[in-house]
Amino acid sequence: MEKTLDMKDLKAIKIELTRFMMAYKFALDEMTTKINILKDEFNYIHDYNPIEHVKTRLKSPESIFRKVQRKGLDFNLDTMKENIKDIAGIRITCSFISDIYEISSMIANQKDIRILEYKDYIKNPKPNGYQSLHMIVEIPIFMSDREELTCVEIQIRTIAMDFWASLEHKIYYKYNKAVPQKMLDELKTTAEMATMLDNKMENLHKEIKKMKLADEAEDMRLPIGIGNNKLKLLETFMEEKLGIK
């Protein structure tokens, strides 16, 4: 004989589902704070911000349930948590390829973050030309009565990679995934063009960094009171970056 749910049971289910979704929202908030700190550190210390955009996404319960159904999983929260790792997602768009690896390394080195999965689709692009760095990380979220270890999917890519991926997604959506082979070939070609652009911009970035380092080395050799020496650089930094005069 099937057990019928009373109001008390329904309320308990609602609370658990709310807690389940809140943990992923808090994980996104936590990761966003960490990324913003990295951005500020780059601005203050290096006078350069490698992060162009940050976008967060939290799957809806309906989307989660559809994925559970596609995977043939049981409809319970423990199963969902164990098998669906992209409920919370963050996409970081960078200026250059080297920025991607620097940011991913900084994230991985955070003491309270554990890397569960690392997929480099930049060095090993997907057959259709897709490129991005994917990480599944696990971070602790402290609730009022428990600690939740929560997964967040992080995608890090350049502007060119993001532009290509966005248009590719729109084309697949328009054709309901049945894209003609000619267009698939064109998409692969445009992905290769985006890679060429990224590589050229990366080379320019490296050359500019060399010039900047050479200029800074020259300034450091100047005696106190002449040109942009160490004291002047420190004064400018304190005034412009930290607001200290």
What are the distances in angstroms from CA 147 to CA 23, 63, 154? 10, 25, 21
Q: Which of 2, 30, 147, 153 is catalytic?
A: 153
- Is residue 30 annotated as a catalytic residue, yes or no? no
pLDDT value at 226 more than 60: no
CATH number given to 7-167: 3.30.460.10
The dihedral sign for the CA sequence 29, 34, 40, 46: negative
Which tops the pLDDT comparison, 193 or 240? 193
Measured distance CA(161)–CA(142) in Å, rounded:
35
Q: pTM for this one?
A: 0.80
pLDDT by residue (tens digit) across 140-172?
998 887 888 999 999 999 999 999 999 888 887
Looking at per-residue pLDDT, the higher value among 143 and 115 belongs to 115
Q: What are phi and psi of 93, to 5 degrees?
A: -105, 125
Give dist(CA 56, CA 220) in Å, integer. Answer: 42
Tell me the C-alpha distance between 88 and 150, whole Å: 9
Q: Is 228 left (phi over 0), alpha (psi -120 to 50) or beta?
A: beta
Rounded percentage of the chain residues whose pLDDT exceeds 70:
81
Question: How is the chain split into domains, by residue range?
Answer: 7-167
